[in-house]
Structure 1
Amino acid sequence: MTQNTPVTAVVFDIGNVLIRWQPEELYDQWIGQPRREQMFAAVDLHGMNELVDQGQDFRDMVYDAAEKHPEFRTEILWWHDRWLQLAQPAIDLSVATLRALKARGVPVFALSNFGIQTFDIAEAEYDFLSAFDRRYISGQMGVTKPSAQIYQMLEDDCGHAPGGLLFTDDRPENIAAAEARGWQVHHFTSPRGWADALIARNLIKETDL
């Protein structure tokens, strides 16, 4: 699919596109890199989070992991109790592109690996998460990217042909899965690069930002 194909809707990932998500860096600040590395080697925290993103209960998953690893119990519980600190700050320029697209009448969707309860927490903190025309949240759907099923579910619901969708995500495997379905894609590496890609497609203007 070429850049010349008209874009009829823009699809945003959320983590590391609209909201920074780098838990290791926060844990390094809280407990120091050596202990953080020891904990992440002993406890599959990202695997735990994947289950949350698939729809498992956030508190139950974190507290269960904490009980199984008492040597790191306090630190594991921070994944729940300090979650909003882990999911911050908003990436301002990316948020500006979302608002600019919305203001120009371009349909905007979210497609994100996100838990049910964690998304509720994020939405209460970040008002721009309510700006989407449609939101496809993995925890609510029971399937995560890059499974083909989640892209199919969006296609079946959104009313747009795959070739008219422009999708940005920070993870190459998620981009590849969308591209394989005929979506237009932009691998998100910086908010400036994303803004420039939208400007190049005449979806927004620099003066909108």
Structure 2
Amino acid sequence: MTIQAVVFDIGNVLIEWQPERYFDRLMGEDRRRAMFSEVDLHEMNERVDAGNDFHDEVYALAERHPRWRDEIRHWHDNWIELASPAIPRSVEILRTLRARGVTVFALSNFGIGTFEVAQKVYPFLSEFDQRFISGYMGVTKPDAEIYARLEAETGVAPEHLLFTDDRDDNIAAAAARGWQVHPFRGPEGFAACLVGHGLLPERDAA
């Protein structure tokens, strides 16, 4: 089936997203584990991804957990260090696809405030033909609505979309709609997938 557009997730596809790694550096692994066991930081982040205010969510959570107040505020105040670095080979793939005339979309769970920060640091986030960012849309993957809205707004039929994401639940939701999918485990495997679809030349598989 001919691919008309490649759809990229962002976190852990184009940008590393490893908050635990940041907090290990900040406070040591043992204290980080203790904090993450007491405070559901990822659940808070899901609310941000769904469109809630970034600052308000982080700071309200910090106030509810005074033992960890200062550390939790790092999630907001030093957020870009949680979402770093870029994955250079993936960025290169994105730019090579664009140079070859392949349509590229972003489909990512990302908050409004966090995406505004990320755009200032990672210019490649402005290089997509269209972006579908959950915070602005008010719906997150793997909800079927976010995939349906991409289909409707781009006019590309599901079977002509090739989607890569590091989360299996997001991949499964896309596949259930008839999208072609590639579970992202690293840029090398994704490059090989794109070569297989004739979207990249063989020399770019390495």
> Do the structures match in fold with TM over 0.5?
yes
Which of these residues, 135, 141, 155, is aligned with residue 159 of structure 1?
155
**1:206 deviation in Å?**
4.8
1:14 counterpart = 2:41: no
Which of these residues, 30, 33, 40, is aligned with residue 37 of structure 1?
33
SS in 1 for 2:140: coil
Q: How many residues align?
A: 205
1:81 counterpart = 2:77: yes
**1:11 deviation in Å?**
0.2
**1:208 deviation in Å?**
5.3
**1:159 deviation in Å?**
1.3
**1:32 deviation in Å?**
0.7
The aligned counterpart of 1:90 is 86
Residue type of the partner of 2:8?
A: F
Whole-angstrom distance in 2 between the partners of 1:8 and 1:207: 21
Asked whether the 8 Å contact 1:167–1:175 carries over to 2, the reply is yes
Residue type of the partner of 1:115?
A: G
- Write out per-residue CA displacement over residues 109-144 of structure 1, whole angstroms, 9 at most, x where no aligned residue: 000000001001101100100000000000000000
**1:191 deviation in Å?**
1.0
1:123 counterpart = 2:123: no
Structure 2 alignment gaps of length 5 or more: none
TM-score calculated relative to the size of structure 1: 0.96
Whole-angstrom distance in 2 between the partners of 1:65 and 1:24: 17
- Write out per-residue CA displacement over residues 12-47 of structure 1, whole angstroms, 9 at most, x where no aligned residue: 000000000010111111101111011001111000
Residue type of the partner of 2:157?
A: A
**1:180 deviation in Å?**
0.3
Structure 1 alignment gaps of length 5 or more: none
Asked whether the 8 Å contact 2:195–2:204 carries over to 1, the reply is no
What are the equivalent positions in structure 2 for 1:139-154 lying under 5 Å apart?
A: 139-154=135-150
Residue type of the partner of 2:81?
A: Q
TM-score calculated relative to the size of structure 2: 0.98
The aligned counterpart of 2:170 is 174
Q: CA RMSD in A?
A: 1.0
Larger deviation, residues 190-199 vs 55-64: 190-199
Asked whether the 8 Å contact 1:100–1:208 carries over to 2, the reply is no
SS in 2 for 1:136: strand
SS in 2 for 1:144: coil
Residue type of the partner of 1:144?
A: T
